[in-house]
Structure 1
Amino acid sequence: MANAFGVPTWVDLSTTDLKAATEFYTDLFGWEAEVSPEPEAGGYTTFRLDGSAVAGAGPIEGGEGQPSLWTTYVEVHDAEQTAQQVAEAGGNVLLEPFDVHGHGKMAVFLDQAGAMFAVWQPGTSGGGQVFRVPGTLAWNELTTRDVDGSKEFYGGVFGWDAHDLPFGSVTYTEWQVAGRSIAGMMPMEGDEWPADLPPHWMVYFHVADTDAAAQRVRELGGTVCVPPTDIPPGRFAVCEDPQGGVFAVIRVVAERLAG
């Protein structure tokens, strides 16, 4: 993805059962799994589609009771500078920037409302290598109860512009860099958002057929949390893998893919 700095370009899964999760996702999306040879990597797995990196997965680090979850990474020039900007903007640094075996530097943060995200400063490895086809990252979406605070936070940290659009009874925000939409934000308004659900970044993957993908999730032991539903960008469903990792799939309408 050209001009990727300030753009979400990578996602990875922290899971309670790496072997089972690998079997689930490779079947669902047709990914190949490449396990890192470095012993200190803990079996970190890069998922590839026709040889190109599209996502990653690794074991949960941080103790018992941590849930399986997908993390969104924003590509940055300088992870240390970003960490400083996060703190200045009212966020929290969960993991200070550190080198990942020469592949690059990463850091993990909470935004001002408590949504977790990460950044990646490329070394020998960048983010995803292919997009806009089934089995690749389609969209990253912040769901939050603090829309105004998030606009200020992400605008300050990454320079994102907020472009508001009507979406049913709420206002949807598309984050933009240089006029290009690179992520979204959904307000957690209404009864469909449980009070104990924290703000979070949702990961969407392209699929050729949303209904078929949702059915395959069920067949593989996962759960369909939101059934296939039509929205302006396409047809999506929210799913949960057998270990509890939540993600979405979407068949994007052709005109959006061409944009």
Structure 2
Amino acid sequence: MHGHFAWNELMTDDVEKAKAFYAAALGWSFESFPMENSQYWVAKAGDAPVAGLMAIEDVAPGAPPHWFAYVEVDDIDARVAAAEREGGTVLRAPFDVPGVGRIAILRDPTGAAMGWMTSAAPAA
């Protein structure tokens, strides 16, 4: 739904330690999700996907471990253009993730980074 938080990812320097922690603390299980240049894990609560985990060195070398949020938008390309007009900075231009949707990484005028995404239509 447009304007709502849609996904969260943990970027960490110790994926296995994080997986063990969240499995024990929250009961999450993990499923590998193929990515072109990195190993991505989908955290699940029961059968429902709830978050992603990845090695921080694959996406933001030198950054500390952190959770990263994504907001659903109705039209990623139009919304990114609007964000730029309003003083936002595009850190990664819109790109496609097969079966997931189209994603961009932005920084708002205060300096906070966030992902925006237009999810792919569900498979018929």
TM-score, with structure 1 as normaliser: 0.45
Q: Distance between the aligned counterparts of 1:169 and 1:246, measured in 2?
A: 22
- The answer for unaligned runs of 5 or more in structure 2 is none
| Residue identity matched to 1:173 | W
Greater RCO, 1 or 2 (C-alpha within 8 Å, sep 6+): 2
Is residue 216 from structure 1 mapped to residue 102 from structure 2 by the alignment?
no
In structure 1, what is the equivalent of residue 23 of structure 2? Answer: 155
**1:248, 1:169 → 2: CA distance?**
19
Q: TM-score, normalization: structure 2?
A: 0.92
Residue 228 in structure 1 maps to residue 94 in structure 2: yes
Question: Structure 1: which 4+ aligned runs deviate by more than 4 Å?
Answer: none
Q: Kindly report which structure 2 residues correspond to 1:89-238, keeping only aligned pairs within 5 A, or say none.
A: 133-190=1-58, 192-195=59-62, 197-232=63-98, 233-238=100-105
Partners of 1:215 and 1:153 lie apart in 2 by 39
Tell which structure's C-alpha radius of gyration is larger. Answer: 1
CA distance in 2 between partners of 1:217 and 1:194 (Å)? 26
What do you get for the CA RMSD once the two structures are aligned? Answer: 1.5
Please report how far the alpha carbon of residue 194 of structure 1 lies from its aligned counterpart in structure 2 after TM superposition: 3.0
What amino acid maps onto 1:219 in structure 2?
R
- Matching residue of 1:50: none
**Overall identity of the aligned pairs, in %:** 37
Corresponding residue for residue 241 of structure 1: 108
Equivalent residues, number? 123
Which amino acid letter does the alignment assign opposite residue 85 of structure 2? E
1:156-186 Cα deviation digits (max 9, x unpaired): 1111111112211221100001111111112
